[in-house]
Amino acid sequence: MKVLLHILFWVAAVGSITSSIYCGMVLAAAARFGLRKRREQSAPADFLPSVSMLKPLHGTESGLEQNIESFFKQEYPGEFELLFCARFDTDEGLRLARAVGQRYPQVVARYVTCGEPTPKFHNAKVYSLAKLDSVAKNDLYVTSDADVRVEKDYLLRMVQTLKDPQVGLASCVYLGTAHEGAGFASQLDAVGKSVEMSSGVLVADMIEGTKFALGATMAVRRKSFQDAGGFDELGQFYADDFVLGNRLAAQGTGVRMATYIIRLMVQDSPFWLSFRNQLRWMQSTRRSRPWGHLGSGLTFAMPFGLLGLLWGLLSGHAGLGLLWLAAMVVNRWLQAGAILTVLGDPDRVRNALIYPLRDVLGFALWVGSYGGENFYYRGKVYKLKDGGRVESPE
């Protein structure tokens, strides 16, 4: 029993120390990002190239109409076109985009179809982007997913990141937002997307610069896709955004993390479905950057706080165990508060308070990501291989 208590103590202690160091790094990265955000927002937005906005669609979901409409509302002095792509003309999302477009006749919008992805395109989104690339009129793109919602200055601010001709791509962190009335599982998912994801991104950018991209939205040059291997190559990866940014950075092309904040709308899902969707992303991260993903296990705090509590209860130091757990709760509150504040979350107090629970869930997802290579997506089972490549569905 004495040996077990020693092991328990040291595992809890090491994890608590590493997660506290990480929390300090997050606070520094958030402060750095906030200063850069303020500086860039006050700079003149005088770069006004012609832009093609590319948005792949597949079916409909709650809030999609508002998401799409936010792109039609852009206040951009330059020329831009909105391009939507779905597999078939009967797609509900594409029909909805057309209906929204009719309310904004002043916006140049086109609606195209690409059919079912070919066998080499395991990533249907990239297949749609390849089609959109073939019809786009301009060489500067701003891409976005269907679950992204933006403000009126989104396009104007995003294109400023490409003002430097040496920059080939810029993406941005996002504020996860659960739909009104969504269940607690979706709220935890949303705060995880805001805090857990943004923390890692901002710390990485602070330490070594941005060597990846976040595909929710990107300002990217047409040439950058070809420099990274082309759509045929990128379509073989689940995390095509990571591969695109990573390859460009390795070639010396500028890859930036913009300071603009978008909203990523999180659907109301039962816990089991929300967990499975989040696990899929964790599995993808493990395959895309295996060593970094392994080390991220030491950035969680609550699991080590719970181990500290268990040590205290078993060793007769219950009070010390409770203080240990409390310290880790404060650790996560500090991390969440810093990130949510710099992201401008209007519900940052409540979301920060529930983040310790998300930290426990995040650790469970991290452990689960080592459980196998199969993942379920849109009715099919796929295999994730080393490097993040996807094999044909079974």
Of the candidate ranges 51-55, 242-246, 259-263, 378-382, the one whose mean pLDDT is the lowest: 378-382
Q: Is 320 in a helix, a strand, or coil?
A: helix
Torsion of CA 30, 254, 122, 148, to 10 degrees: 40
Q: Does the pLDDT value for residue 393 go beyond 60?
A: no
CATH superfamily, region 44-269: Spore Coat Polysaccharide Biosynthesis Protein SpsA; Chain A (3.90.550.10)
- 107-133: b or e for each residue (b if 16 or more CB lie within 10 Å)? bebebeebeebeeebbbbbbbbbbbbb
Which residue matches tokens 């040496």?
A: 166
Can you list the pairs that 6-12 forms with residues at least 24 positions away whose Cβ atoms lie under 8 Å? Answer: 8/307, 8/310, 8/311, 8/314, 9/308, 9/311, 9/315, 11/304, 11/307, 12/304, 12/305, 12/307, 12/308, 12/310, 12/311, 12/324
pLDDT surpasses 90 at 284: no
> Does residue 172 carry a pLDDT above 70?
yes
Say which DSSP state 89 is in: T
Poorest-pLDDT segment among 205-214, 221-230, 284-293, 371-380: 371-380
pLDDT tens digits along 220-250: 999 999 999 999 999 989 889 999 999 999 9
Q: How confident is the model at residue 206 (pLDDT cuts 50, 70, 90)?
A: very high
Specify the pLDDT at position 12.
96
What's the whole-number mean pLDDT along residues 124-140?
96
Under a CB-based contact definition with an 8 Å cutoff, are residues 185 and 270 in contact?
A: yes
pLDDT higher than threshold 70 for residue 394: no
Residue-level pLDDT at 289: 84
Contact 305, 328 (CB under 8 A): yes
Band (pLDDT 50/70/90 cuts) for residue 359 is very high
What is the reported pLDDT for 23? Answer: 98
Give me the residue spans of the domains in the chain. 44-269
Query: What pLDDT shows up at residue 375?
Result: 66
pLDDT, averaged across the chain: 93
For the chain, percent of residues with pLDDT exceeding 90: 80
What contacts 216, CB < 8 A, 6 or more positions away? 144, 145, 147, 148, 171, 172, 174, 262, 264
Confidence of residue 281 (pLDDT cuts 50, 70, 90): confident
More confident residue, 121 or 164: 164
Evaluate if residue 376 carries a pLDDT over 90. no
* DSSP calls for 31-58: HHHHHHHHHHHHS-------EEEEEE--
Instruction: Report, as an integer, the average pLDDT of 253-280.
Output: 90
Q: Which residues of 292-330 are buried (b: 16+ CB within 10 A; e: fewer)?
A: ebeebbbbbbbbbbbbbbbbbeebeeeeebeebbeebbe
Range with the poorest average pLDDT among 64-68, 145-149, 287-291: 287-291
pLDDT confidence of residue 380: 63
- Give tens-digit pLDDT for 297-320: 999 999 999 999 999 999 999 999
Confidence of residue 269 (pLDDT cuts 50, 70, 90): confident
